[in-house]
Chain A
């Protein structure tokens, strides 16, 4: 069973997404801040990381930079998840986005359940 690590400080979102992805026969591991997320990547070796951008402790961009710099972990695909609209330009986020070309995909929050499933399937293939 393919394993997905979802890192998001919104516990409710994590819980609902976990039910959704489990219904599609993925194993889902959760983490609620950047640091915990990084630890879980190392401990769980997931097949895909879904990473929220705005998080306490360490933000998603920083986590992504560390992951992509690590030769043991940089093969794991990372999908960035953010509520920060790309339209809101000239914030510090767009600068980060420029550095973050190494992330494998980007999903704008709020995301529809069907869309989330579709994106995960693009990386891990359909289970059923």
Chain B
């Protein structure tokens, strides 16, 4: 005899005689039986033994909540329980129950034969039902798994960076579509061959070697920036990492290649542009400086004192422009604000005085009164001469530029605690409050009707900020639109 696995059956019946009879019949056949005398009790059992109730033998003539209620509750909860109804006559209420989801109905006045005919059919139905359910689940699981792998490949191939995976011997085992395009990889030529054959870069190979030889106890492969690796004509930002299995053993390496060739090309363009500008600006200034110097020194004829004075100022102004051009062109200085080239002991008073004299003519042209107060016996300051000149020139020329005719610019150099402070106060157009936080940004220029006609690169203040920072100083600005602006630079004097 074929032993079928037993079924968990819950009998719900308030007629004890019928309940006992059902129980006896089912237990004799080896099924596990639980009993309940009301719907509430039945629900309790179902809840407590979730998944351990397969079939309910349910009386439709229960007091309180009728059996139909239970059928509806179970249907709503989508419990996978087969319901066999029991009623006195299997009339209207039986039909209603079967509509609601009951499998069949047994008359309570059943004979043993009749009981088993119906019951066995129900048990068989339940088993089929269960099996179908299991098959459906398996199928679904398979269905979700297969597209999952395909999806992963699709995602892998859609990534815009090249990805190459090697085994622990640096043989390529997987690559995505972008990597194939970037390095001309093909399945026949590439798979199973060392990465060094397909991608010719010693640097890259060293990263891969490091990755496959690393173990979990080693520090991360590359701290900080991912290096740029050149492969033939292209430049890549590369990240190489070890591939580890579940137990943490290194089984290979994965390399991510981000093409930065266009960025590198931009860098070159910028650098070429700077060298071009450098020549175009400096060449005429070279001539100008030489011509003015020759005239000023009287080498092209005697000068009267006024001519000599004017040419002297022209010469200083030319030199001031040269300083500015050098500042603008100093790529690294603009790039990272590092402007300390040569630290020496400086007499800031003398440097400022010279700068003020240089600027005086442009102030006079605009009928701006320029005053310069320098505290006596200032300590010497350790810093970069060119940088200090750039701070003074930029801030004073800005003050003159943004102050209307007839205004005033006052320049003060004084000691405050351990700092030397440089202050420029103008009676100019001021800085609107919404712009004040942005004035130190590169290329930022305030756009108003008043500033339209004023020429500038938008670099001056960012250069000043860079130099001040490099000298561990600080810069502070106060301004009121229409009234004027005050810049204060504090430079710490080293003990």
Contacts and interface: CB of A to CB of B under 8 A. Distances in A.
Interface of A: 10, 12-13, 15-17, 19-20, 23, 54, 83-85, 87-91, 93, 109-113, 116
B286 A83 contact: yes
6 tightest A-B CB contacts, nearest first: A83-B282, A113-B293, A16-B290, A110-B286, A12-B287, A13-B287
A18 to B, nearest CB: 9
B299 A19 contact: yes
Given A13-B286, A85-B326, A20 B293 contact: yes
B215 interface: no
Nearest to B332: A87
Contacts of A17: 290
A110 B282 CA distance: 6
Contacts of A54: 279, 283
Query: Which of A84, A85, A90, A93 has the most B CB atoms < 10 Å from its CB?
Result: A85
Contact of B283 (A83, A88, A112, A113): A83
Interface of B: 268, 271-272, 274-275, 278-279, 282-287, 289-291, 293-294, 297, 299-300, 319, 322, 326, 329-333
Given A19-B300, A23-B299, A90-B271, A112 B289 contact: yes
B332 A19 contact: no
B286 A111 contact: yes
Contacts, number: 82
Contacts of A93: 275
B385 to A, nearest CB: 15
Contacts of B271: 88-91
A85 B322 CA distance: 12
Nearest to A114: B293
A111 B299 CA distance: 17
B330 A85 contact: yes
Contacts of B272: 91
B112 to A, nearest CB: 100
Contacts of A16: 287, 290-291, 293-294
A110 B319 CA distance: 9
B290 A91 contact: no
